[in-house]
Structure 1
């Protein structure tokens, strides 16, 4: 089957992977890296998978906790070779990376966890940060881990709403009078 696109061999795929990884703001998992790399119709999945493994073996990428990150060697070698990537591929890749980076930054700023208490029950810790530091932290008691997980999921989905609702409740003067 003929492949359409500008990327056709494993070396080009490696250049593209290094180009992408140098621009993401946090380590990413294999499916996310796959989605980013498939921005060109010429990329073959099996060659891509081999290229990722080879980049890890050569020390261009590092794999920790099922997430890939670029090494200094990968940045250096990728920068030297990125001019060989076609402009249209870099443009498509850049658009995808900027969308992903927005999501990665947001996920890094919204934190939640469920901790078991020694005396029984669970504590849910919720935090919302911005570029300047912590905006909001809240600890809640929960009777079950399931309830705590549901609270975490709700906070992860709508942290700004929770923050605004708490502020509204605290600053509402009509109810306090």
Structure 2
């Protein structure tokens, strides 16, 4: 990502959050930028927000009414907000599961680039990132810096319980244990 692109995505992230706040749409910053706010390296791609599935249509309407360019991609679980070469994903399903209010309610209000907004808690960030792993996307190199940066903020026992059905996530937890990033996270046998 070029410096101009980073400025553009940061601006779009702020504009999207402000529009959702002003439209009274429940939301939370998630993904790489949520991890960045909590100490991980800044991502080199888009920003992501979660909205409850029941609020998805209203969220898209609020964003369009705020003057943002809203695009409906082929995927049926997100809306994209576009500005120049940058975009923000507004997701209402994550890993095939509809986003519920409880996930948003657990988010913590934090300053992000001088805008206060709900940011997914560290444990939920790690769980959603790990649950996205599958045979088509299994890039541990992007996850390792996030896990290292957030390790003291994460409830690893909950992560282990929440991702136990995903073999790719379970293997990542073994890797964290073997590398000494988070000891004992892989669980028993």
TM over 0.5: no
Q: With the length of structure 2 as denominator, give the TM-score of the two structures.
A: 0.30
Normalised to the residue count of structure 1, the TM-score between the two structures is 0.32
Q: Which structure's residues are more often helix, by fraction?
A: 1
Structure with more contact order per residue of length (Cα contacts < 8 Å, sep ≥ 6): 2
